[in-house]
């Protein structure tokens, strides 16, 4: 008979897989949204509704649950400030600069998929989280699968600017620090509360940058320059990013990370490119050579070991 702890672990694994499935579509949705909206405008249009949606849900679900919204204690403000600054704000900024500096999107995506490699180091040093040899072996196998999946069949491997590499690793480090803040957050805060406050704080950083870089005129000019169907597609993608990627997936990931720890939760990030490749194969007729299938098998096998 499975114990209560076993059942909690099973639920956490399901939550992690669901969040990765949702996020695996995010890259496709972002690509379509960026065909219409400038980057910072797209981010603001994505996160303002997500914060409002979480506030409404939190007000409706006042009883203790995964979806209630607790008032923040001022003594916990530094934790939320660090988390909100690291992700989404700092991660998105560094990710954008990394893509701009690196010639190959393949190299950029591969470098940005290395959070499982850094997570055990951060978790062991900051949280004193126990990392087993099976965690390390599984992460290495799974990460090998990510590199195989990303690099097989791609011909453009020119690096571009050297600074793209440290920028990509800085972005990954910011995401890992955010996950550590999730783990350190007091248990009195629901997963929705943590995600709500971090995204609200991130908006406080994003909006000034948006005003300086793009401003409201980026939105005012859209109806006169974009064909209606293209605009509708972009708005549909932003709606997906708002509801599923920014709210549901973040809450599921936050819940699961608090149950299984930083190392194991971030190991699941390796299956995101596998799902993305699968969606591209099923719905966009992208050819998957044998090497990419081998990469996906290595990713899944590595997760089982981890």
Percent of the chain with pLDDT over 70: 86
Extract the tokens encoding 167.
Answer: 């920028």
Identify the residue whose tokens are 């290395």: 114
Give 277-291 pLDDT, tens digit per residue: 788 777 777 676 777
**Comparing 252 with 96, which gets the higher pLDDT?**
252
Of 184, 206, 167, nearest to 85 by C-alpha is: 206
Burial of 61 per CB tally in 10 Å (0-12, 13-18, 19+)? middle
Q: How far apart are CA 267 and CA 176, in angstroms?
A: 11
The angle that helices 271-283 and 290-305 make with each other, rounded to 10 degrees, is 140
Residue 216 — pLDDT band, cuts 50, 70, 90? confident
Identify the residue whose tokens are 């709606």: 239
Give the pLDDT of residue 239.
95
Give the pLDDT of residue 85.
95
Least trusted range by pLDDT, from 110-124, 185-199, 236-250, 255-269? 110-124
Q: How far apart are CA 92 and CA 175, in angstroms?
A: 10
Q: Which residues contact 138 (CB under 8 A, 6 or more apart)?
A: 267, 302, 303, 304, 305, 306
**Comparing 63 with 167, which gets the higher pLDDT?**
167
Give the pLDDT of residue 155.
56
**Mean pLDDT, range 227-231, rounded to an integer:** 78
Highest mean pLDDT among 142-146, 166-170, 197-201, 272-276: 197-201
Burial of 140 per CB tally in 10 Å (0-12, 13-18, 19+)? middle
Extract the tokens encoding 281.
Answer: 């194969």
Give the pLDDT of residue 255.
92
Least trusted range by pLDDT, from 106-115, 154-163, 183-192, 210-219? 154-163
First to last CA, the chain: 23
Q: Is the pLDDT of residue 83 over 90?
A: yes
The domain locations on the chain are: 26-134+156-262
Give the pLDDT of residue 193.
93
Give the pLDDT of residue 252.
94
- 3-state SS, residue 102: strand
Residue 151 — pLDDT band, cuts 50, 70, 90? low
Q: Is the pLDDT of residue 227 over 70?
A: no
Q: How far apart are CA 306 and CA 294, in angstroms?
A: 18
Give 38-69 pLDDT, tens digit per residue: 888 888 999 999 999 999 998 887 665 667 88
Percent of the chain with pLDDT over 90: 28
Rounded to two decimals, the pTM is: 0.86
């Amino acid at each position: 008979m499975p114990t209560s702890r076993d059942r909690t672990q099973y639920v956490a694994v399901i939550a992690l897989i669901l969040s990765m499935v949702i996020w695996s579509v995010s890259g496709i949705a972002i690509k379509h949204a960026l065909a219409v909206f400038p980057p910072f405008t797209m981010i603001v249009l994505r996160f303002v509704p997500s914060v409002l949606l979480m506030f409404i849900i939190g007000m409706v679900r006042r009883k203790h649950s995964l979806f209630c919204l607790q008032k923040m204690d001022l003594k916990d403000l530094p934790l939320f400030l660090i988390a909100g600054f690291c992700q989404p704000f700092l991660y998105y900024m560094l990710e954008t600069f990394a893509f701009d500096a690196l010639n190959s999107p393949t190299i950029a995506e591969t470098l940005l998929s290395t959070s499982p490699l850094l997570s055990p180091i951060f978790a062991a040093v900051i949280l004193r989280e126990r990392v087993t040899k099976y965690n390390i072996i599984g992460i290495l196998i799974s990460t090998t699968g990510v590199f195989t999946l990303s690099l097989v069949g791609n011909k453009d491997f020119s690096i571009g600017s050297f600074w793209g590499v440290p920028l990509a690793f800085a972005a990954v480090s910011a995401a890992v620090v955010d996950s550590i803040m999730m783990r350190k957050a007091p248990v009195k805060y629901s997963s929705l509360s943590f995600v709500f406050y971090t995204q609200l704080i991130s908006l406080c950083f994003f909006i000034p940058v948006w005003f300086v870089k793009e401003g409201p005129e980026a939105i005012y000019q859209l109806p006169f320059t974009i064909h209606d169907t293209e605009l509708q597609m972009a708005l549909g993608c932003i709606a997906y990013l708002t509801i599923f990627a920014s709210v549901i997936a973040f809450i599921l990931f936050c819940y699961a990370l608090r149950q299984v720890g930083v190392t194991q939760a971030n190991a699941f990030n390796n299956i995101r490119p596998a799902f993305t490749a699968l969606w591209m194969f099923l719905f966009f007729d992208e050819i998957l050579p044998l090497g990419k299938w081998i990469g996906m098998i290595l990713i899944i096998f590595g997760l089982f070991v981890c």
